[in-house]
Amino acid sequence: MCGIVAYIGPKDASPILLEGLQRLEYRGYDSAGVAVVAPVTKSAPAKLRLCKVKGRVADLAAALPARFKGGAGIGHTRWATHGVPSDANAHPHTDNEGRIAVVHNGIIENADELRAKLAADGAVFRSETDTEVLAHLVAAHRAEGGELEDAVRAALKLVVGTYGIAVLDAGQPDRIVVARNGSPIVLGIGEKEMFAASDVSALVRYTRQVVHLEDGELATVRADGFRTFTEDARTVTRQPSTVDWEVGSYDTGGYAHYLLKEIHEQPGAVERTLSGRLDERFATAHLGGLNLDARELREIRRVKILGCGSAYYAGEMGAQLIEELARIPAHSEPASEFRYRNPVIEADTLYVAVSQSGETYDTLAAVQEVKRKGGRVLGVVNTVGSAIARECDGGMYLHAGPEVSVASTKAFTSTVVAFALLALHFGRIHDLSPADGRRIVAGLKALPDQIRQVLEQQQEIEALAAEYAHSQGMMYIGRVRGYPVAREGAQKLKEISYVHAEAYPASELKHGPLALISPELPTVALVPDDELLDKNLTALGEIKAREGRVLAVAHRPIEAKHADHCLVVPKSEPELDPLLLNIPLQLLAYHAAVALGRDVDKPRNLAKSVTVE
């Protein structure tokens, strides 16, 4: 949610800032802006130049004056929280004199109070944002003398809320000051040049050497290096680490959209999630990062999974896997609701936080609530070193690779695979037999090729999507293992095509939603070849009897009296079937969105990482 990039060095900053913003645009895309310090000339001191517009980074690039030069600069791509998307509300924000510029991710909770005080002292506010108070606060402290970093520290002491910020000062053009509290900031180390960003994706083109700031830390970034320190001015030493994601991971790689690319990357993503973790000899999984020994794991009586949106639905599939394979009661709950019901935290419950980005504020806050009350939390996270990963006591990284499209696909699949590994590991120290363990190991190993087989049906799914996309709405139904698949399928269609979709357990149809069934409201039905097949077919018969159209996703062709169309996916082990049943639904949503002319990778009103409540 919002992206920050900063550069200082011998090159011209603006092309680097624009390139970085383009890579960060998936985080927010309603407005964008940059500020640079124009170089000192014989006749003029250094001064700030600012350009910001409502719209995309491409609109900013088009609006940028030809001679927008400067060796230090900051940029921002916004997803509105305070104030509508507009030129005025776009970042950077400046003080009255236009000498201090600030870009900010997060929320300043006491902005109204600070704004009133600053206005009384003469600050002129030009936007409706909470961020603008930071520019005025820093300027007020700079006016008292001292260095930029001292003014930023003093300003942040007055602020309540979350932030990742970068601050530029025309009076000290040799530095940029950045700070982090609840919103990530990462420094990039170059050759006589330095970068900073909210996300490594903006940096990988220029450097692999990065330093992640911790909450409560600041850094002064100069062309020749950086210094990290706390809000109390205590110097802290941070060692650089090397980013292993390729720059190509952030390109569409010849696909029409990131979403399509990421759907097609799933076989490789699953291979990486499984890599080095399957133990065929003992028919189990090795999970090095759990930080729990077998005795501690055996003492766990319950598993509670916390995540938002698709991460929550992946958690529902995870809970099902844990209950089936380990026979431990498991439940997935929206992390966004969890802390507001004053949850009972039990010592023998294992809490598992799920997040692709590792930044989702609601999930992070849920983890903190569990830890505050003495609970133990594992993370199932894609982004290495992210806030949630660091807050957890242990966990598993997905290694799915960067996911850029707002709608989650490969991270979703890898999350469910990670839960299958966890369930297998748990199961084998409880009652799961070696034979069943071997069955699951073989099922997991077969998944990448089976996903490839499903992806080969793309053309057929594209044709079906064109037929169904113009429906008034869609119903998604499934039973037991199929129900979370239905929920995720409906979510994918909603978020990228804006076609209303509802998911129900097929068994619930007669208790209400059957009233909706008509030729205008088709049903996508998950019909796995399992013990509920006959019951699922009965539900489809009821829909057809009411002139409802049915698209079945099944393990064998479904007769015309039960379905108008059928997509057949390969059979896995029953516990793993949901993984494969979900893949056609991703392609269906993608092609429906394309058929309707939607902005597939950047759907309206949504952002990739939701770092606010």
Catalytic residues: 2, 608
DSSP state of 513: G
Q: Among residues 355 and 572, whose Cβ is nearest to ligand AGP?
A: 355
Rounded to the nearest whole angstrom, what is the least distance from the CB of residue 357 to ligand AGP in the complex?
A: 3
Asked if the bond preceding 15 is cis, omega within 30° of 0, the reply is no
DSSP string, 521-590: B-EEEEE-SSTTHHHHHHHHHHHHHTT--EEEEESSPPPTTT-SEEEE-----GGGHHHHHHHHHHHHHH
Rounded to the nearest whole angstrom, what is the least distance from the CB of residue 609 to ligand AGP in the complex?
A: 6
Rounded to the nearest whole angstrom, what is the least distance from the CB of residue 492 to ligand AGP in the complex?
A: 6
The one among 77, 127, 183, 355 contacting ligand AGP by CB under 6 A: 355
| Contact yes or no for 284/425 (Cβ under 8 A) | yes
Residue 65: C-alpha distances to residues 8, 62, 259 (Å): 20, 8, 33
Q: Among residues 131 and 355, whose Cβ is nearest to ligand AGP?
A: 355
Distance (Å, whole) CA 152 – CA 43: 29
Can you list the pairs that 499-502 forms with residues at least 24 positions away whose Cβ atoms lie under 8 Å?
499/469, 499/471, 499/473, 499/474, 499/592, 499/596, 500/472, 500/473, 500/474, 501/473, 501/474, 501/475, 501/476, 502/473, 502/474, 502/475, 502/476
The residue behind tokens 């029953």 is 574
For residue 79, give the nearest of 14, 34, 133, 32 by alpha carbon.
Answer: 32
For 117, the enclosing helix (H) or strand (E) is helix 111-120
Instruction: Record the tokens describing residue 272, joined without a space.
Output: 């990486």
Instruction: Record the tokens describing residue 206, joined without a space.
Output: 């220029």
- Cβ neighbours, 10 Å, residue 54: 19
162 binds ligand AGP (CB under 6 A): no
- Beginning with the edge strand found earlier in the chain, give each strand of the sheet holding 194-197 in spatial order: 47-54, 31-38, 72-78, 3-8, 194-197, 186-189, 209-212, 241-242
Q: Among residues 153 and 602, whose Cβ is nearest to ligand AGP?
A: 602
Distance (Å, whole) CA 227 – CA 237: 8
Q: Among residues 81 and 355, whose Cβ is nearest to ligand AGP?
A: 355
Q: Which stretch binds ligand AGP (CB under 6 A): 127-135, 352-360, 436-444, 559-567?
A: 352-360
The one among 356, 413, 572, 611 contacting ligand AGP by CB under 6 A: 356
262-321 binders of ligand AGP (CB under 6 A): 308-311
Report the C-alpha dihedral over residues 95, 101, 103, 106, rounded to 10 degrees.
-30
* Phi, psi dihedrals of residue 461, rounded to the nearest 5°: -70, -35
Q: Among residues 14 and 413, whose Cβ is nearest to ligand AGP?
A: 413
Q: Among residues 284 and 355, whose Cβ is nearest to ligand AGP?
A: 355
The one among 22, 105, 609, 611 contacting ligand AGP by CB under 6 A: 609
Q: Among residues 173 and 315, whose Cβ is nearest to ligand AGP?
A: 315
Distance (Å, whole) CA 480 – CA 256: 35
Rounded to the nearest whole angstrom, what is the least distance from the CB of residue 1 to ligand AGP in the complex?
A: 10
Rounded to the nearest whole angstrom, what is the least distance from the CB of residue 391 to ligand AGP in the complex?
A: 13
497 binds ligand AGP (CB under 6 A): no
610 binds ligand AGP (CB under 6 A): yes
Rounded to the nearest whole angstrom, what is the least distance from the CB of residue 603 to ligand AGP in the complex?
A: 8
| Contact yes or no for 4/103 (Cβ under 8 A) | yes
Residue 92: C-alpha distances to residues 53, 74, 321 (Å): 10, 8, 47
Distance (Å, whole) CA 550 – CA 479: 16
The one among 360, 497, 536, 586 contacting ligand AGP by CB under 6 A: 360
**Partners of 189 in the beta sheet?**
194
Rounded to the nearest whole angstrom, what is the least distance from the CB of residue 334 to ligand AGP in the complex?
A: 10
198 binds ligand AGP (CB under 6 A): no
Rounded to the nearest whole angstrom, what is the least distance from the CB of residue 211 to ligand AGP in the complex?
A: 23
Q: Among residues 595 and 606, whose Cβ is nearest to ligand AGP?
A: 606
Q: Among residues 181 and 363, whose Cβ is nearest to ligand AGP?
A: 363
Number of alpha carbons in the 13 Å side-chain half-sphere of residue 451: 29
The one among 127, 198, 228, 357 contacting ligand AGP by CB under 6 A: 357
Contact string (CB under 6 A) for ligand AGP, positions 503-522, x = contact: --------------------
Instruction: Record the tokens describing residue 382, joined without a space.
Output: 């894609």
Rounded to the nearest whole angstrom, what is the least distance from the CB of residue 83 to ligand AGP in the complex?
A: 22
Residue 519: C-alpha distances to residues 471, 478, 499 (Å): 9, 20, 16
Q: Among residues 22 and 360, whose Cβ is nearest to ligand AGP?
A: 360
Rounded to the nearest whole angstrom, what is the least distance from the CB of residue 265 to ligand AGP in the complex?
A: 15
495 binds ligand AGP (CB under 6 A): yes
Distance (Å, whole) CA 582 – CA 524: 11
386-445 binders of ligand AGP (CB under 6 A): 406-408
362-391 binders of ligand AGP (CB under 6 A): 363
Distance (Å, whole) CA 346 – CA 360: 24
Rounded to the nearest whole angstrom, what is the least distance from the CB of residue 273 to ligand AGP in the complex?
A: 15
Residue nearest to ligand AGP (CB): 309
Q: Where are the beta strands (DSSP E) in 420-530?
A: 474-478, 501-505, 523-527
Q: Among residues 71 and 309, whose Cβ is nearest to ligand AGP?
A: 309
Distance (Å, whole) CA 238 – CA 221: 13
How many chain residues interact with ligand AGP (CB under 6 A)?
15
Contacting positions for ligand AGP (CB under 6 A): 308-311, 355-357, 360, 363, 406-408, 495, 609-610
